[in-house]
Structure 1
């Protein structure tokens, strides 16, 4: 729990034993994963859009149902589940009233041993995914799925630009390959590029060696340009991303690692008919489709080797902030 806001005020507290009310279930949390948005939420960075007192952090977790309340028929004790990032977003386009219901922000999150969920705010965890692997999905994987598949509509013959080896990026790479696309990857080191190649990226650019990497990507595509780009960097990368795009290309705006305010060349956007659209974690139905697709195609999350316990959550968030990880940083709970 964080009270008052700030990473230094993160501490473990004892809470009353949770009880399942009508339409609710109690889940024994087994694992959670970390996202950069968790760091911002712990510091109160979302302002009025988040809970500011006694916040239980973290949006992404998986566990086992241990009790069901009156009227619940969809779940039983022993079911393996993962929680939805937006519990109030069941299907269809994003609605304003669902935005502030994110776990670990607007609502208390999953950094607990036991948590009450609405019965319609969970999806089943496939048998071939561990609790840790399932905990990696609700935010990063769902955002990548939304960007690549739901919004992007990536398919065979498309050319997709992936930036870096963070959780969203690696999921986006996996989903683009699953859809039959040609993947172009940029990162800062030979080791990270080798990982992206092992995950299926065919074309690699080290952006430290190639500051004008947008031109390098365009050259690798033989002048055709990217049909899709997963934009993670924000202010310092969007210009190069735009240089790499094919006319009519789709840019999914997800991250702002290098800053929130970018200089945009509006004539190029108009003349090239780029599509620039934000992508979030998506609805419960979208998460269900993601989980089904991963199970059907044998896709597994890339998990950082270094793991943390719930009592080491502060250390885990500090490790995430240093950017030394590859893939998802996870927390063992139960």
Structure 2
């Protein structure tokens, strides 16, 4: 079968190779892949910043939607023909994090989904929402459950809370939808007025262009009547974390999710102590959290923001689009 594999670091090392067809073993499921959604993690993997010891060649792509076409011995969760999604943290089914959940992911430790077929243990798959297309459904596993884990499972988001969402990537836009669905007030930051206009159409209450307003934290305080923001999805890292802390209300929560600017940050400790801030790292969530998120998403009839869909042969162009900063998600149609 055909599969897009990294043979080294860099986009030029992403090759369309012929590899053997997989077959399911004990407890495994064979999935015909229909669509794969790209995450910023996929760019980090390609650039060598996520796992410098990545073993080559390895098939890429973690988030996928497909159809069950084969069942290994001892499987019971799915039937032939079921439409399924991959669970990003393949070993994390339920319970609190133990520290290694983000290691066992597709395209990193295990062969990824950017191929015609995928074999995965049945515990790492969930049913896809019926109201979404394959391309739409493929966007949900990593970015969707990350926002859900940060705001709902860990954050305890309630109606009347204020949520600040940074940028218009997948996690931030899913966070916008989740916050809006529970009656929270939302503030979205971006350097693009065009993108800010689009988030208003999605329900954002306030927007800040951080290019025109570099001290966006002060603007966020003004928008909350000097009270501060209850929840912040921090996807930038670096010096941005200090601004997030200054924009936070006392005992507010910052979910550290991304490292767009830098993997390191300098934290104003006195401000953190004075505000009694809760700063929590979020590395997606367990499968049961993904299932709860999908149930809510389907019940509300929500649809993800898909910026572009590329054909399987155009994977290089899809990765370039990801690198340029899409509005929402970039998807590759496999079958």
Shorter-normalised TM range: over 0.9
**Residue 80 of structure 1 pairs with residue 83 of structure 2:** yes
**Cα RMSD (Å):** 1.3
**Residue 46 of structure 1 pairs with residue 50 of structure 2:** yes
Q: How far apart, in 1, do the equivalents of 2:235 and 2:47 lie?
A: 21
Q: How far apart, in 1, do the equivalents of 2:140 and 2:106 lie?
A: 13
Q: 1:44 Cα deviation (Å)? A: 3.1
**Residue 113 of structure 1 pairs with residue 116 of structure 2:** yes
What do residues 222-277 of structure 1 show as CA deviations (whole Å, max 9, x unaligned)?
11110111111111322221221110000000111111222211011011100101
Match of 2:323 in 1: 321
1:273 alignment partner, one of 273, 276, 285: 276
For structure 2, the 5+ residue unaligned runs are none
Structure 1 residues 98 and 260: alpha-carbon distance in aligned structure 2, compared to 1, 3 A threshold = closer
For structure 1, the 5+ residue unaligned runs are none
| Paired residues of 1:5 and 1:52 also in contact (CA < 8 A) | no
- The aligned length equals 331
Q: 1:119 Cα deviation (Å)? A: 1.2
1:21 alignment partner, one of 22, 25, 42: 25
Match of 1:130 in 2: 133
- Given the two structures, how large is their TM-score scaled by the length of structure 1? 0.96
1:90 is paired with a residue whose SS is: coil
Match of 1:141 in 2: 144
Q: How far apart, in 1, do the equivalents of 2:82 and 2:332 lie?
A: 20
Match of 1:31 in 2: 35
**Residue 229 of structure 1 pairs with residue 232 of structure 2:** yes
The worse-fitting range, judged by mean Cα deviation, of 92-101 and 285-294 is 92-101
Match of 1:8 in 2: 12
- Given the two structures, how large is their TM-score scaled by the length of structure 2? 0.96
2:177 is paired with a residue whose SS is: helix
Q: 1:97 Cα deviation (Å)? A: 4.2
Match of 2:168 in 1: 165
What do residues 251-304 of structure 1 show as CA deviations (whole Å, max 9, x unaligned)?
000111111222211011011100101111111111111111101111111100
Q: How far apart, in 2, do the equivalents of 1:75 and 1:154 lie?
A: 33
Q: How far apart, in 2, do the equivalents of 1:46 and 1:114 lie?
A: 25
Q: 1:5 Cα deviation (Å)? A: 3.0
Q: 1:47 Cα deviation (Å)? A: 3.2
Which structure features the higher share of strand residues?
2
Q: 1:317 Cα deviation (Å)? A: 0.8
User: Which portions of structure 1, spanning 4 or more consecutive aligned residues, are displaced by more than 4 angstroms?
Assistant: none
Q: How far apart, in 1, do the equivalents of 2:82 and 2:279 lie?
A: 39
Match of 1:259 in 2: 262
